[in-house]
Structure 1
Amino acid sequence: MNSSDPTLLGTVSAVTGASVSVRLVESLSSGLAIIAGHTYRVGQVGSFVRIPQGYQDLYGVVCEVGATAAPQHFERDVVETSRWMRVELAGEAIGARFERGLSQHPNIGDTVHIVTEGDLRRIYGGRGDDQVEIGHLASAENIAVRLSLDNLVTRHSAILGSTGSGKSTTVASLLRSIVKPGGSDRGSPAARILLLDIHGEYASALADVARVYSASPQTNELPLFVPYWALEAGELLDLLVGTLSDNHEIAFTDKIQELKEKRLALKPILGVDPSSLTVDTPIPFSLKQLWYELIDFETTTFTGAQRDVPALVAEGSADKLAPPRYQPHAIGSAGPYLNTAAKGIRRQLNLLRSRLLDRRYDFILHPGPWEPNLKGEIERDLPELLQGWLGHDRQITILDLSSVPSSVLVRLISSILRIVYEALFWSREKTEGGILRPLLVVMEEAHRYLGAGGDSAASDIVKRIAKEGRKYGVGAMLVSQRPAEVDETVLSQCGTLIALRLANPADRSRVKGALPDNLAGLMDLLPVLRTGEAIIAGEAARLPVRCRVTLPSEGYQPRSADPEVTEAWAKRRVAEGYDRMVASWRAQSTRAVANNTVIQRKPIKDSPDDQGGKV
């Protein structure tokens, strides 16, 4: 062993599985080492080490430093007079090729060395492969951190961190690194990323590389429409009328099936065989017509000897949601008589009518050119919808859901994901499908609709994407500030974890449990990470790494910064208009205005002789 080697840290003293106890050499007196003009921190938790094995090198991450890292069976005086490190082995390199996992283990007495910049180039590879540069090592600013784009998308990922830890900035920086605007390096001109923006933070940050759809569009934004008839019948009915008994559900689904058959008979639709039509086939039909025909059946009364003559007073209007009126039924045998075949769904039909009249649900129940008329005819079909979301000339699509009512948010997210996933699933053998042109779905505030043990429609479709999406080219990226509240099944499917600062013990415990590598000691750093600093482990990172994420340039950062309290409170107050506050509240729009129309009346002259005529 050459003690003059500047990269030497110590020797292997014990090996247990992938965990190695290292006894530091006595000559190591400083926490810094200068090698080939570069400064390296020595023995820091989260730093890398190299253990030579002849033609092969093993690489690991320092997870613990101090006397507690010593093997338990060592004598106390030996432990107290020595310095120790515990290293978790993560991969090996033969020549210039690095591979995760181990084919052999080190021996007692093998030397342990600092990982230099040359070693990291060997691990991460050059710029010509699938590596995406996202930042630099927290301990060495001159060493770039790169992730595998292939594994990041296909094996799913999660970005986790407490409020204020830099999640939104990390997401914006990561997406910008993937698409690389301006033509820098290779870039990804055909990238396809769908971002569900719950708080409206990303429109300004990614405006030059994204197309924005919003339920309440502003300048340079497009209206967001989600056609209700593209949903599965069960999911649609849950949105419209809530939970139904089996008999009541059959009443609705039979009528939906009937309306879809009528629409198909009116004009054939490409790809639809009438013999294989189901209630879940995405065929347009009118909700107004559905409501009208069902309420007509429920409220009909009859007269006549055979009780088969409808006692109709007024027809009503399906388009205006006006119900038909019948003579009220009479007690006894005189008639009119009730419809004994009625299903007893008046309450549910009243709720359906209420939903159709509620303007907050227009984006899904009255989807603009995708809203069918009473015959089921539409101006635009699903190809135009998917073309707008997935086929435009920019790499990112942002769906701004900040103005969507919280009561319908989970169902809306479920609807969007189901439409996209089903389309990519069934087109998997076509050039527009996910295999030949994959899709990355970024889900902000994932804990709001992926609760632990949840059985919501959103949770079901995300679980399906997490379990099956890799095979069909659909990748998921979860973003959450409360990983403890995210369903464990979904989180366990995330092959790459980007963990920012987490102070809550329950959140840290969930992250530790989901880690693909044995890095519990490294995760103990989570409470003390700086803003914008993350520990990255999993499929996309060739080695677990503590990374400082590159900040987006000024003007391209998400609208998630903390308010400047001191500066705001130190200013002199100006004139305030609380009518504007209430106007925004009532309009459910942050940009609503309250304008009072004031008409000023002034005297006018009809002629030179008339000096005082007034209007």
Structure 2
Amino acid sequence: MLYTFRSAIGKVGVVSYPTSVEIVSKNPIPIGTYVAIPFKTLDIISGETVECCAIGVISLTSYRRLIPISPTATASESIGIEDDMLRYAPSIARIIALVRSRDRNNLSIEIPNVPPPPDSEIYLAPPEILSILFSSKKENSIKIGHLLTRPEVEIHININALTKHLFITGTTGSGKSNTVAVLADRIASYGGTVVIYDVHGEYSTLEVGRDVRKISIEYKMNLLEIPPKVLARMIVPEGGATVQRMLVSRALAIAQKVFKELRSRYGLTEKAIENFTTIVKELIKESKSILETSLHRSMFGEKPEVDEPEEEVSTETIDINSKLIDLFKKFIKKLIEGYTEQYGESAEKACTKVDEFFENAAISFEAPSINTLLGPSTLVVLNVSLLSDEQKDHVLKIMLDELLWFSKSKYFTGDPQPILVFIEEAHIFLSTAKSTISRYSIERVAREGRKFGLALGIISQRPRNIDLNALSQVQNFVFMKLVQEADQQAIMNASDMLTEDLARSLASMGTGEALVIGEWVGRFPVFVKIDKHEGKKIGASLDIAEIWRLHRSRATTKMYAATSEATKDFEELFS
């Protein structure tokens, strides 16, 4: 034998293939258990007998009776047979590797190509072999956890393989966000740059390592940095409202040009408000025909002389940013109203859409570009939880386009800066049921990002709702608990390495347990217990029973206190 094994836990059954074997044992072997099957085989080329050891993982387990029970069957004890003798536990082991050697110092890990003989004994896989297969700790790797059921075997992933993108999926509460937190923190600690597109705001309070610079921003749209056509589609999302969208796009193009000039001259100050207010007042009083003159004067320093307008523009708002947003909205609406005679109802509807957008959207002219936040050992959490799904869709497109441009420019100037972007709730943006604005940007980064160091981490609890074409470039996977057959079928279609029995085994995964597949973890699929990130405060399921118990306890304490006070007052009154 290549290694000394402990006592056997079962034997190879009737059926044995190079990639899977049937195991018969007295008791069920838990799913995810790694087993070793030592046997000898004949090398048909050299004619020599070679020692082999098949390494497999239990992907299906069950219990059966040798004699089926019928309504008329007598109890096993009454016929003198112990009940244990009538039961056995068949299992299926997926063979992941074949270890060959003529001696212990000359091991070779090969793809399984010969089956173990029936009746071969089954043992727990020794940690020495498992470490060779899975624990590839190198300078370019980080630890993510340990082998399921074998804490002594650490699992590391190859950081360089992340350029081929990553997909993480599992049901609610399976541990997806904890996995993201572990990867993001440790990659940033390694020196990497990580961006989390935080759809639910659960990473804002994430506590990271001391070597990591964490920047958490509550995303607000800077309307001066978004292309007019993209912003117009956010304001007028209806596909058939082309005229409304065209009017909004024209108005935005002019407003952005004017406002950028004012910002460059005066900054975000009261002086900028004063000049911008003058332009808006002039538009309100005069017709659209003076627009070009007004713009020219504003941009080249000539302050237009105007009388008091018929309609006052209120600038009594909370701060400068709010004042500027209010003026920007009025400016856009006034530009659109100038087209009322030509486009009639479409112009009126476009103004209504502008009002609705500014009322509901999170906007700030002070919001920084994400590219200015990037750097080594940096984790940027972009909290977009305040935005609607449509706005999240548009903002994701803008962010990915910016990051791709940034990565390309850094690459071509000889100063590449790799970035890993995690996208939470990806089924919103890569839906099979509807088209989204960000889909093209996601697919473009998936196609082109690898060359420039821009990698995607796609996270979803609904793999069946994700367009598989969008996952065609993804080669690294973390599959956590999945119960629905449609979800299991979807991930089987997404990964060539995922067999049906492994996919079905995901239904029995516990919290934090995962099947990890892809180049980043090596040649073989591996069941992993993901490390728990102690700095992840939001996202885990609440202990609602404990919360309610504390609330009841506090309420009871207050009631007793009030009753005691009332009793005291009553006694003092009649004493």
1:323-382: CA deviation from partner (whole Å, max 9, x where unpaired) = 769x99xxxxxxxxx997558641354135415642x4243xxx3246xxxxxxxxx8x5
Q: Aligned residues: percent identity? A: 17
Instruction: Give the deviation of 1:193 after TM superposition.
Output: 0.5
Aligned to 1:63: 59
Aligned to 2:200: 199
Instruction: Give the deviation of 1:321 after TM superposition.
Output: 1.6
Give the AA of the match of 2:232.
L
TM-score (norm 2): 0.66
Instruction: After TM superposition, list the pairs within 5 Å mapping 1:169-568 onto structure 2.
Output: 169-180=178-189, 188-189=190-191, 191-208=192-209, 209-215=212-218, 224-243=219-238, 321=330, 345-351=346-352, 353-355=354-356, 357-358=358-359, 360-363=360-363, 367-369=364-366, 385-388=370-373, 390-391=374-375, 394-406=377-389, 408-432=391-415, 436-542=416-522, 543-553=524-534, 556-568=536-548
1:255-283: CA deviation from partner (whole Å, max 9, x where unpaired) = 66677888999999xxxxxxxxxxxxxxx
Instruction: Give the deviation of 1:483 after TM superposition.
Output: 2.3
1:124 aligns with 2:134: yes
Instruction: Identify unmatched segments of 5+ residues in structure 1.
Output: 32-41, 69-79, 181-187, 216-223, 269-285, 301-312, 329-337, 371-379, 576-615
Assess if the C-alpha contact under 8 Å between 1:321 and 1:353 holds in 2.
no
Give the helix-richer structure, 1 or 2.
2
Q: Rate the CA distance shift 1:314–1:192 in 2: closer, same or farther, 3 A.
A: same
Counterparts of 2:117 and 2:471, CA distance in 1 = 39
Assess if the C-alpha contact under 8 Å between 1:446 and 1:486 holds in 2.
yes
Assess if the C-alpha contact under 8 Å between 2:195 and 2:379 holds in 1.
yes
Give the AA of the match of 2:216.
Y
Counterparts of 1:82 and 1:324, CA distance in 2 = 81
Q: Secondary structure at the match of 2:187?
A: helix
Counterparts of 1:291 and 1:453, CA distance in 2 = 46
Q: Rate the CA distance shift 1:260–1:516 in 2: closer, same or farther, 3 A.
A: same
1:462-521: CA deviation from partner (whole Å, max 9, x where unpaired) = 222233322332211122222222333334543222222233333333233333314321
Counterparts of 2:282 and 2:35, CA distance in 1 = 69
TM-score (norm 1): 0.63
Assess if the C-alpha contact under 8 Å between 1:92 and 1:98 holds in 2.
no
Assess if the C-alpha contact under 8 Å between 2:100 and 2:110 holds in 1.
no
Counterparts of 1:446 and 1:550, CA distance in 2 = 23
Instruction: Give the deviation of 1:319 after TM superposition.
Output: 5.3
RMSD: 4.9
Instruction: Give the deviation of 1:239 after TM superposition.
Output: 0.6
Q: Rate the CA distance shift 1:352–1:65 in 2: closer, same or farther, 3 A.
A: closer
Give the AA of the match of 1:409.
K
Instruction: Give the deviation of 1:195 after TM superposition.
Output: 0.7
Counterparts of 2:228 and 2:288, CA distance in 1 = 21
Counterparts of 2:437 and 2:53, CA distance in 1 = 48
Q: Rate the CA distance shift 1:196–1:81 in 2: closer, same or farther, 3 A.
A: closer
Q: Rate the CA distance shift 1:494–1:349 in 2: closer, same or farther, 3 A.
A: same
Instruction: Give the deviation of 1:423 after TM superposition.
Output: 2.7
Assess if the C-alpha contact under 8 Å between 1:316 and 1:324 holds in 2.
no
Counterparts of 1:140 and 1:149, CA distance in 2 = 23
Q: Rate the CA distance shift 1:527–1:108 in 2: closer, same or farther, 3 A.
A: closer
Instruction: Give the deviation of 1:396 after TM superposition.
Output: 0.8
Aligned to 1:106: 114
Counterparts of 2:110 and 2:310, CA distance in 1 = 77
1:88 aligns with 2:103: no
Q: Secondary structure at the match of 1:408?
A: helix
May I ask how many residue pairs the two structures share in their alignment? 473
